[in-house]
Structure 1
Amino acid sequence: MALQSKQSEAFLAVAETGSFELAAEKLNITASAVTLRVQTLEKQLGQVLILRERPCRVTQIGKELLQHLQHTRFMEQNLLQSFQGKAATSIFYKLKIATNADSLATWLLPTLQKSVLQQHILLDLKIDDQTQTHHLLEAGLVNACISTEQNAMKACVAQPLGKMTYRMVASQAFYQQYFKEGISREILKHVPAVIFNEKDQLHHAMLTQHFGLTEGMFPYHSVPSSTAFMDAILLGFGYGMLPEFQIENRINHGELVEIMPFAETAIALYWHHWKQQSPQLEDLTQHLIRHTQHVLQTTQ
């Protein structure tokens, strides 16, 4: 049994647009034709793939098929661009890279600048937690990623970049208001923290390890932007973990106070990419590996 391209194309369009009508517009066919193709595919596989809701949602088995089709599409596009060196109608070569927000906000773009400009690369950056980015590579959704995962996946290479150090800090005013007399488990249960998002476990791990406080036992703001995250701490919304890149000068100038020196954590980062790389990605990889030694702490 083989997947029929028109049926797979219809399913992919509905899954990505969330609507049979939008899928029809995308494919330039009628909504009833999209429905028929999806129904035929579901009958062929013996599985419900799309939940007819608003917006439509894929089932668990549908997610597996969606991942497969996206991976296949990406690999086909990547293969064609590898043969051509670029998209047929452009002088630029697009690379999809998954990165954590803190790397993007601090050292990544300056490090990539020379290679991106010389190789006429267009960056398509995907943001996720550093513990999750390698899943995007595994799914075939990106060409490469920055991850905390040390081991390379099948058909991939993992190369060490270095370490980013995080420190627990608060504004001077926040420190004077809440922590002047010291920090304890009871105090932390009533003092607001600042967390990046639900995938960010660094702060939670520190409070669990040192104070026995798990999620739900202390109040916190969620601020899913590296720049706004630091601003929230500077403005006294709460205390939180920030990378040294962003705060070393502010600590030295007294704007921020390191409230838990024992919570300092170094996160090792790795560059993952497919073994078979385009010349552009190969150049960017070599440039990245060569220059991160000047901006990140050694992993040795």
Structure 2
Amino acid sequence: MLDYKLLEALAAVIQQQSFERAADVLCLTQSAVSQRIRLLEERLGQPVLVRSTPIRPTELGQKLFHHVQQVQVLEQSLSTDIRPTTDSYTRLRLAVNADSLAIWLMPVFADLFHEHKVLMELMVEDQDCTLARLKSGEVIGCVSAQDTLVPGCNRLHLGVMDYIWVCTPAFAQRFFSSGVNADSLRQAPAVAFDRDDQLHVRFVRQHFNLTAGDIDFHMIPTVEGFIDAIRYGMAYGFVPRSQIRQELASGKLINPTPELKMPVPLYWHHWRLQTPMLARLGSLLEKAARQHLQ
């Protein structure tokens, strides 16, 4: 049988990326947390953590972490059934993309908080990378552009986020006065959210036969800063149409090639394990997606 005090220590170390912070969360000494991890490894006969910087779980450690997260969700659901008026909160770990978080996810999380007393712990990644967090067991669900079905999980197609590439008229005059082509795109800087943001790379590869090495780009990892870089004429970039409707209508931003589309499908992936709270989250996501996605 597994000792859940030992598993709780393992989960805390993985989540906090530190024995010291894990000890604070568990109200234990750092030595006590280390002893619990060593005892767990002795009982299992193999390591559960790689003592690197940052600390990371072994393959077995990751499986145990996934398991203890599932147990915590079930315990929280059972506690709510037993004591429906309890003041305790449920913590929910999800991976989401920054644009969805900025545009349409927060009202969903607000409803979930008020109805089920859920505290959100969000990992914000590019929509092409969030699924890896679910596969590794770090999160219970994710919003992803990938449709790959993960074993032990369900998938729901939410809709399509309509991305368009835009820049200021002055930027277009400076870099695209002779047209949008491979040569002009080699000179025009783009803006990316981070190094995992590949929309601009896919665009120039698909339509202009260019590679990532052909493009210069700013890297600005906030939604506001990303759009401001475009507004201030520093770059062109790919933005959900719903975020810049006013700028498009006023002509402050333009799409130099409106015939070239970059639709991004989005999916909700989640553990097959279901509780009333998770079922409610799924229905809220589906309802919000119908309003904001195509």
Q: TM bucket by the smaller chain? A: 0.7 to 0.9
Question: What TM-score do you get using the length of structure 2 for normalisation?
Answer: 0.82
SS in 2 for 1:85: helix
Deviations 1:264-288 (A, max 9, x none): 2111111222233221221232233
Counterpart residue number, 2:180: 183
CA distance in 2, matches of 1:82, 1:106: 29
Contact 1:145 1:271 in 2 (8 A): yes
Tell me the equivalent position of 1:270.
267
Q: Cα distance 1:11–1:42, how it changes in 2: closer, same or farther (>3 A)?
A: farther
1:241 equivalent in alignment to 2:226: no
Would you say the 8 A contact 1:194–1:238 is kept in 2?
A: yes
Question: Unpaired runs of 5+ in structure 2?
Answer: none
Partner of 2:67: 72
Measured in 2, the distance between the counterparts of 1:40 and 1:174 equals: 59
CA distance in structure 2 between the partners assigned to 1:34 and 1:92 by the alignment: 27
1:208 maps to 2:205: yes
2:22–2:33 contact (8 Å) kept in structure 1: no
SS of the residue 1:134 aligns to: helix
- The more displaced of 27-36 and 108-117 is 27-36
SS at match of 1:249: helix
Give the direction of change, closer, same or farther, for the CA distance of 1:270–1:190 in structure 2 (3 Å limit).
same
TM-score normalised to the size of structure 1? Answer: 0.81
TM-superposed deviation, 1:56: 5.7
Decide whether the 8 Å contact of 2:160 with 2:265 is kept in 1.
yes
Question: Which whole-Å CA distance do the structure 2 matches of 1:17 and 1:283 have between them?
Answer: 28
Following TM superposition, by how much is the alpha carbon of 1:74 offset from its aligned partner in structure 2, in angstroms? 1.0
Instruction: Say if 1:158 and 1:271, in contact at 8 Å, map to a contact too.
Output: yes
Q: Deviations over 1:88-144 (max 9, x none)?
A: 863544333321111111122235544543344333322112122223233333332
Q: Show CA shifts across 1:229-261 (max 9, x none).
A: 111111111101111111222111111010232
CA distance, structure 1, for counterparts of residue 217 and residue 31 of structure 2: 45
Which segment drifts farther, 207-216 or 234-243?
A: 207-216
d(CA) in 1 for partners of 2:190, 2:284: 38
1:82 and 2:85 equivalent? no
- In the TM superposition, what whole-angstrom CA distance separates every residue of 1:14-37 from its partner, at most 9, and x where no partner exists? 655555666666673464983796
Deviation of the 1:206 alpha carbon: 0.8
Partner deviation per Cα, 1:180-237 (whole Å, 9 max, x = no partner): 2322212221221101111111110111122222112221001111221111111111
- Sequence identity percentage: 34
- Residue segments in structure 1 that go unaligned for 5+ positions in a row: none
Cα RMSD, aligned residues only: 3.3
Structure 1 residues 108-187: aligned runs within 5 Å: 108-111=105-108, 113-187=110-184
Q: 1:44 to 1:146 in 2, by over 3 A?
A: closer
Q: Distance in 1 between matches of 2:125 and 2:61?
A: 20
**1:157–1:15: structure 2 CA closer, same or farther, 3 Å change rule?**
closer
For the 8 Å contact 1:148–1:267, the answer to whether it is kept is yes
Q: What amino acid is aligned across from residue 102 of structure 1 in structure 2? A: D
CA distance in 2, matches of 1:210, 1:12: 45
> What is the rounded CA distance, in whole Å, between the counterparts of 2:48 and 2:110 in structure 1?
46
